[in-house]
Each structure stands twice: as structure tokens, then as C-alpha cells.
Amino acid sequence: MRWVCILFPQLALDAVLRQRPDPDEPLALLTGPAQRRVLQAVNGPARALGLRPGQSMAAAQALSKGFVTAEYDAAEIEHWQQFLAAWAYRFSSQVSVHYPRAVVFEIESSLGLFGAWPQFEARLRTELTELGFRHRIVAAPNPVAARVLANVYDGLVVPDDQALRYHLGQLPVDRIALEPTVSTALSRMGLRTLSQVQALPRHTLARRFEAQVLKHLDALLGLRHLALAFYLPPDRFDVRIELNFDVQSHQALLFPLRRLTGDLSAFLCGRDSGVQRFDLHLEHAGLPDTLIKVGLLSAERDPAMLFELARGRLEQVQVEAPVRGFRLRAEDLPSFVPQRQELFDDRPQQSLPWEQLRERLRARLGDEAVQGLRFQADHRPECAWQTTVDNQFCGGLPGVQRPGWLLTEPLAVHEGSARILMGPERIESGWWDGADVRRDYYLIQTRAGQQGWAYRVVGEGGPLWLQGWFA
């Protein structure tokens, strides 16, 4: 039992249905050119009306008018399969979308974390039901067998190879994902189940069929390994829901909003990241989108919280035109830091490491905004400091009196507005780099009692120049 296959028997229908508030509404998905629309898939209530896949639209409308239609969009189905893979990525790093309408992932290494299989299966089912996808789950020793068994079973667990051999042997030959010509040929030979096929000598099968058939049978039994391309989650989240009618009140937007934030949360859990900033686009016919920016103080991924925050922003907005589409985009997905909980923690809740805080500040204020300070061994005050990003230790000059604040541009001190308390101290340096200074520094006190550090260039008269405050 190493691989789980989750098959979505009506992925296309579920993808459309989950965006509608009423799931019991009869729904038919249409395909084909505009001249000849054909029903591709119908849900249960629509089936009860007499609609069947393959009917033409005209025939369906002759039977009933009380159903809604949507386009059967292959790209949309692909998108939802990717979404479900992102959801499954939470449980396993080896997730594959090799098979259409199904997600296959390795599970044995995750059971230690998520508990025994029955609980884990229950969790998978709960989450999928909440997301609104019908599903069949089968666990088997190899991915090919899991996928094939999901054709027939739901909730089956195959613990070992012997049980696998037994369960596979029961399968009829037309359900084991062989080419139709091959399965027809086999059934015409009188072979109904896989066990009968396996009982045949290998070389006779090899002579009668293409090499592909034996390879597939070997892969089913785990004798031959299938190389799967694993799913890699994307770095951004961008999902759009098209509303089929003009929405004029925000009440009607809450359902799609809840879906979108729920999907975002499922995606974030899969990537083990959070979201700090995301955009809601309200699309209008013929007008530019209304953009609602939602920003958070810290990275979050709780669906209820995301929904409440987005709802708060949405309710504030006045839109001038009816809304036709709804879209949620999240570009920046920082890693999620769960609340640190230590028994003896002197800093309570939501402690954010300095590195993350620095990144957040830099993201908003600019790359140069966060600086360190460093002493440079130079006597000239304007050269004695340097901003830095690394934090290496650097020595200083102990015992020399220097002001706490340094002015970047010296200010002239008016005659008589300050008196000299101490000085002079001569600083004479910099003849080697062209910025030669010869100054006498004084500790001065202004009339208001402020203490400053001012200089006069040696050999020049004139006012004192204030260069620092003894703060």
C-alpha cells in the first residue's frame, strides 16, 4: 500500500457545480460547434429530466427547459486537475497528474505524519467533499494498479502483492486500461478476467500482441516500474470564476469569494506557505476591472480568516458597473510561520523572526531601507560611519568623547547664540584622499541648553559649524 489514486469521476461537472450556490440544479455541459451543440456531461438532477450525454442540444431542449448549461472546457479541467494536485501536495511530495482526471501520490512515507490509513482516508474524503469534488480513493502497492483498481472500486486498500494479484485477477479485461482492440481480442478468445490472461504462458501473449500489452500487465503487477513525472507546485495563485449573470450586490459575491479563499488556502497548505497580499479583481463588461487589494500583517492561510479579511474589503467597495467575473491573484507567497508555542516562552504569540521582518520592511520600503551601522577607523566624523548590511564586529576608539547624533551637513552657528564649554580638539586628517580637513572641535552649549559639537577650520575665522548633538 504505497500509492493512492484519487479518481474524480465527474471532474468537469464538479468544477462547474462547485462555483454555483445550488448544487442540485440540473446542469449539462455542452461541447461541439455552434451549429451542433452536444451534451457532453450531465449531473444527477439533469439525468432525472431525461438528459443523456451525447444528446444534441435541440433534443435536450425538447425534453426540458429547466436546466442550465455551461461550456465543457478542456483547459478548465486541466486547471482543476492541477489544483487538486496542489492540494494533494500537502500530503506527499510525490504527486503525479500522469492520468487524466486523477491524482496519484505516494503515501507510505506520509502515514507516520498523518496517522493510520483509515483516519487519513477519512481526512482526504472530508477535505475533498468540502472542496466539492466527487472522488474514488484506492490504495495499492503501485500507481498503475491503484489507477486501474479505481476504475472499479472505491475505498479499496490493497496491502501487499498477493492481495493485489487477487484483486487484479478479478477485473474484467475491458477495465484494465488496455487498448480497446486488445481487450476485444482477448474477450473474443474467451478470456474474461485478468487472472485468465495471466494464466496464459508469457511467450504466447508476446507472440499474439504488441510488446505494449505485456509491459502494461507487468506494470500492473509491479514487476515493472512506471516512471512518473511529479507535480511541481507553481509559485503563484491565480483563479477566476466567471459569473453567469450580472451581480449588483456584494451578497451574491460572497459565495464565489468563499470558494476562492478556500481554494487559496488549500493551495497554500500544499505549498506550506502563506499569503500576505492578494488582489481581488471584479470584472465588468466593457470597463476596466475593479481591483481590491487585501494586505495582511503577517502571512496567513486559514480559510476562514482569509475569507473574513477579503469580505471586509469587498464590502467597503462601491462598484459602478455590474460584476461579470471574479478573480483572485496572489503573487507573493511567503513561507508560513505557525504560531510559536513554547512552554517557557518569554515572548508571547506571533513572534516573527528578524530575518522575515527585515524582508517585509524591505519589500515595502525599498531594498536600501534597512541598514546596519558600522564604525570606520577614521578620525574625520563624516568618514567615521558607514552603513552596512552585514554585521561584522568592528573595533572603536574608546575614551574619546563623540556626540550621539551626527549631522550630515554642518550648520552655521550664529554668533552669540552659543557658548563654548570645552575645546578645542584638533582633527587633522585625510591629506591622502583629497578630502583634507584641519578643524578645531568645541563642545558648545546653546542658549536653550542644548549641547552640540561644532568646529572651526584652522586658520579661518567666521562662525562655528555645528556637526553633532550630544544627545
Rule CB under 8 A: which residues touch other proteins?
297, 346-354, 356-358, 360-361, 364-365, 368-376, 381, 384-385, 387, 391-394, 396-408, 422, 443, 446, 448-452, 468-471
State the minimum distance, in angstroms, from the CB of residue 451 to other proteins.
Answer: 5
Q: Is the CB of 66 or the CB of 372 nearer to other proteins?
A: 372
State the minimum distance, in angstroms, from the CB of residue 408 to other proteins.
Answer: 6
Q: Is the CB of 203 or the CB of 293 nearer to other proteins?
A: 293
In this structure, the chain runs to a length of 471
Q: Is the CB of 199 or the CB of 365 nearer to other proteins?
A: 365
Written as nine digits, the cell of 47 is 439525468
Q: What angle do CA 325, 331, 335 make, to 5 degrees?
A: 130
State the minimum distance, in angstroms, from the CB of residue 22 to other proteins.
Answer: 43
The CA-based dihedral angle spanning residues 153, 157, 163, 164, taken in that order and rounded to the nearest 10 degrees: 60
Q: Is the CB of 354 or the CB of 432 nearer to other proteins?
A: 354
Q: How many CA atoms lie within 13 A of 366 on its CB side?
A: 3
Q: How many CA atoms lie within 13 A of 229 on its CB side?
A: 5
State the minimum distance, in angstroms, from the CB of residue 401 to other proteins.
Answer: 6
State the minimum distance, in angstroms, from the CB of residue 294 to other proteins.
Answer: 16
Q: Is the CB of 405 or the CB of 431 nearer to other proteins?
A: 405
CB 200 within 8 A of CB 214: no
At 114, which amino acid appears? F
Give me the residues paired with residue 27 across strands.
Answer: 68
Greatest CA separation found in the chain? 117
State the minimum distance, in angstroms, from the CB of residue 353 to other proteins.
Answer: 6
The side-by-side arrangement of strands in the sheet containing 290-300 is 237-247, 323-330, 275-283, 290-300
Written as nine digits, the cell of 267 is 493551495
Cα distance between residue 155 and residue 50, in whole Å:
30
Closest CA to 194 of 177, 212, 211: 177
Q: Is the CB of 143 or the CB of 452 nearer to other proteins?
A: 452
49: helix, coil or strand? coil
Q: Is the CB of 234 or the CB of 353 nearer to other proteins?
A: 353
State the minimum distance, in angstroms, from the CB of residue 369 to other proteins.
Answer: 5
